[in-house]
Structure 1
Amino acid sequence: MEELVRPGRNRGWLLRLVIAFGFAQGAVSMARPAVSYRALALGADERAIGVIAGVYALLPLFAAVPLGRRTDHGRCAPLLPVGVVLISGGCVLSGVAGSLWTMALWSGVMGFGHLCFVIGSQSIVARQSAPHEQDRNFGHFTIGASLGQLVGPIAAGALIGGADMAAGSALALFVAGVGCAVAFTSLWRIEHRDAGPGFRTDTGERVPVGRILHARGVPVGILVSLSVLSATDILTAYLPVVGEHRGIAPSVIGVLLSVRAAASIACRLVLTPLLRVLGRTVLLTVTCLLAALLCAAIALPVPVPGLALILALLGFCLGVGQPLSMTTVVQAAPDGARSTALALRLTGNRLGQVAAPAAAGLVAGVAGVAAPFVMLGVLLLVSSGVAVRSHADAEAAAPRRRSGSGLRRSSDV
């Protein structure tokens, strides 16, 4: 444990993990809009786009908890190369698919690969970070995701922007698959054998899922994460559809998606001072509320510069939710169930990724392509309200928590 707390020592694993996550997430962020454009070229409508986006999350929805259980009782690192192989294969095979059904299938493979990579990498961060380092290290870890989300859409837009959308999207998916494979170069010696106490059990005893879900802070972390990821996911899948209806070129849509990702990076770089001023729960509450209003604003017929400003502000607000929900869940979970708790958080994410795109497809088919963003605004508004409630509960429990642990004050948890 002393090794984890000591600043500046053995930081190489985190940098390599950020680099690997950047390539893996970049491939996924490049592939998701490319899949949407290829599906449009094959004759898909808004409902079909929603179904394909939902299938991406369907298999992970059932696999997350078993993978988390396995990780709680074993090593995390083997999941990373498995994830890279599945993401790369799903990207390339989506590019050669000739029907919407096969595209949906390979999209599901891609989603399962992403789940393997994320469970393994998040568990490594939780296991190899002291409690007081977790906000910072999860924030740095998610910078890798934001870097991938920054580069991926720009690359996809540049490759798809030609006259032949089907060929351009297929090329983008092939490039995404090759790019993901580069992550292999950063996966060496990424997991320490002495990962610290409390993050691993060898007794075979399993903490019941119900006990994990009833731990104070876990449901809030899951809901906030679900809302934030659903917003990011629908932005990635449906902004190309909005662009088609408003006459915005794919290359411009790629830049707009990257503006959002760049704002999330900026947010995570200043996350520590923001936490010092506001505390974790207040920061989550405020950013979810602002993100709700900004998501609804996308439905307005604003010009491209106005849309860029909305997405920049939205990206900054959404950048808070993922790292802080990880820390909230990890610190609230019972000993020996941290990876399972993170997997439950990912299960909530994937549930949102299944339900939100499907609901978005139905809403878009009935009320227009901008309507899903209003739906996202409502979801984020609910998350903001739940975070306020959790803040009140944490304040009531503050004396007990202060006497029972050495973590930061309970209003921040």
Structure 2
Amino acid sequence: MPLPKSSTPAAHHNFIWVSISCGLYWFAFSLTRPIITLYAASLGLKDIAIGIVLAVYALLPMLAAIPGGFIADRFGRSTVLRVGSLMMLGSGLLYLISSGPWTLALAQLLAGLGQMAVWLAVQVLITEGPVQGNEGRFATFSLYMAIGQMLAPILSGYLADHYGYKVVFAGYILSSVLLIFTSWQCRDEVPPTPGSGEGKAALSMPLGHSAGIIRHWFGKCLGLLRNRSFAVILLTTFISLFIVDVRTAYLPLHLESLGISNTKVGLLVSIGAASALFVRPLYPRLMARLSFSWMLILTYAVSLLLLFATPLLTSFYSIAALVFITGLALGINQPLTLSMIAHSTAPEERGLGIGLRLMSNRAAQLMDPLLFGLFTAFVSLRASFLLIGVLLLVCCAFTVQLQLSADRAPHSHVPYRDKKPRAST
């Protein structure tokens, strides 16, 4: 696979290890996420109970994402990566011994926190270094992510069908052990030292001075959120991750209701991830031809088809085609938002920007199961897909309007507007 040129052999070596860590993270995540819903159902959980178990995964990460970004900025991204990989191993052991809702919920809680730390760290690590001309680097990074997402669900479904859910959890443990190894090969390209002035003073306080640190965090967050285009990035991330989580968590339930086996369920989830492999050549060409606003409209229109068309389809092959097409639009979100964050944040604020983005991710993964659990308690699963689709359509319309208003404001603070990334091939 093509790799972007790095400034030095050491940087190139580090890029490979970070990308491998990204692939392992997504392999481990995609190994368990599609079957957690089915495993919870096999334990006798119903509707809202399943939604709560799924939502627990995102609860602590949503609250810890912003502090996690500051911790990564202060103590080093590779340190956060290593701690997160150890937490993932612990969650795997809990998955393995779980036999009821409480142990499963605890495993979900620890897995969510550990995976949040790993995903935050690898994203910040990949945005370090020169900003200009890095679109090929972001797209290649997303390629490793897509490979992990593609391979794991097929293996997960096959193992669940032939050997049981416990063997899938054993695979998650093995993936976490490998991630621990690769995490120790990664290093920070930007030293984990705070910037100058007020930021440096706040971050150099003793950890006991929590009030001053919290005020500093809050002020920095408000500074980024005042940028309407940065808010658009967060909303885009929320919408896209919401749809991806529907694909990995609730599409399997719909497929099971159609009598489709776990192996085929895993294959369908993998098809959605495989479509992201085509983003590597597509993304730079689209960026060269379309504005950010039109990219939003295009990706929203295509990705929302997953929610509106799924209830109407019963054929395995028609659903597979739908998952592939919508996966193309969803796959563009990753390099697009990473590229825009890299262009709109200073290096010492990169952890905070990624932390806010990650909080948006986890908010989507929290709201998805809660809304589905609520809707399925009153209407059918198919009707729930349509209701969620209508809600997200409203969110998409609001986000596009916000982006258009930012484009019309000539004096608005949009750092990347003057430095729109050039496509790299």
Q: Give the TM-score taking structure 1 as reference length.
A: 0.88
Q: CA separation in 2, counterparts of 1:403 and 1:340?
A: 16
Question: 1:106 matched to which residue of 2?
Answer: 107
Other-structure match for 2:420 = 408
2:131·2:342 contact (CA, 8 Å) conserved in 1?
Answer: no
Q: Which amino acid aligns with 1:64?
A: A
Q: Which residue of 1 aligns with 2:259?
A: 247
Cα separation, partners in 2 of 1:11 and 1:399, compared to 1, 3 Å: farther
Indicate the residue corresponding to 1:215 in structure 2. 227
The amino acid across from 1:68 in the alignment is G
Matched with 1:395 is 407
> Do the aligned partners of residues 268 and 390 (structure 1) sit closer, same or farther apart at CA in structure 2, a change above 3 Å counting?
farther
1:191 match: 187
Q: Following TM superposition, by how much is the alpha carbon of 1:12 offset from its aligned partner in structure 2, in angstroms?
A: 2.4
Alpha carbons of structure 1 residues 277 and 262: separation in structure 2 relative to 1, 3 Å: same
Contact 1:215-1:334 within 8 A present in 2 as well: no
Q: Distance in 2 between matches of 1:134 and 1:373?
A: 37
* 1:199-228 deviation digits (Å, cap 9, x = unpaired): 896443546122221123221111110111
- Is the CA contact (8 Å cut-off) linking 2:159 and 2:168 kept in structure 1? yes
Change in 2 beyond 3 A, CA 1:134/1:48 = farther
Inter-CA distance 323–380: structure 2 relative to 1 (3 Å threshold)? farther
Within a 5 Å distance, the mapping from 1:18-33 to structure 2 comes to 18-33=19-34
Rate the CA distance shift 1:379–1:323 in 2: closer, same or farther, 3 A. Answer: farther
Matches within 5 A, 1:137-286: 137-162=137-162, 168-194=164-190, 202-204=200-202, 206=216, 208=219, 209-286=221-298
Q: Is the 8 A contact 2:17 2:185 kept in 1?
A: no
SS in 1 for 2:313: coil
The amino acid that maps onto 2:182 is S
C-alpha displacement at 1:133, in angstroms? 3.4
CA RMSD of aligned residues (A): 2.8
1:204 match: secondary structure: helix
Residue 317 of structure 1: aligned partner: 329
CA contact (8 A) 1:146 1:261 kept: yes
Q: Which amino acid aligns with 1:37?
A: L
1:64 corresponds in structure 2 to: 65
Aligned length: 402
Change in CA separation of 1:348 and 1:405 when aligned onto 2, cut-off 3 Å = closer
Distance 2:414 2:243 in 1: 35
Which residue identity does 1:244 align to in structure 2? E
Alpha-carbon displacement from aligned partner over 1:142-175 (angstroms, at most 9, x marks no partner) = 223222211111111001113xxxx601111111
Q: State the Cα distance separating 1:284 from its structure 2 match.
A: 2.4
Seen in structure 2, the aligned counterparts of structure 1 residues 67 and 198 have a Cα distance that, compared at 3 Å, is: closer
| Counterpart residue identity of residue 283, structure 2 | L
Write out aligned runs for 1:77-88 (5 A): 77-88=78-89
Deviation at 1:73, TM superposition (A): 2.6
> Per-residue CA shift, 1:218-262, capped at 9, x if unaligned?
211111101111111121111221122111111000000000000
Distance 1:214 1:403, change over 3 A: closer
Check conservation: 1:31, 1:91, Cα contact below 8 A.
no
Partner of 1:299, secondary structure, is helix
Is the contact made by 2:194 and 2:200 (CA closer than 8 Å) also made in structure 1?
no
The 8 Å contact of residues 406 and 412 in structure 2, kept in 1 or not, is answered as no
Q: Output the CA distance in 1 between the equivalents of 2:7 and 2:29.
A: 34
User: What's the CA shift string for 1:32-91, capped at 9, x where partnerless?
Assistant: 123222212111123222111101101111111111112223311111121212222212
Where do 5+ consecutive residues of structure 2 fail to align?
Answer: 204-215
The code of the aligned residue for 1:173 comes to F
Closer, same or farther: CA 204–30 of 1 in aligned 2, 3 Å:
same
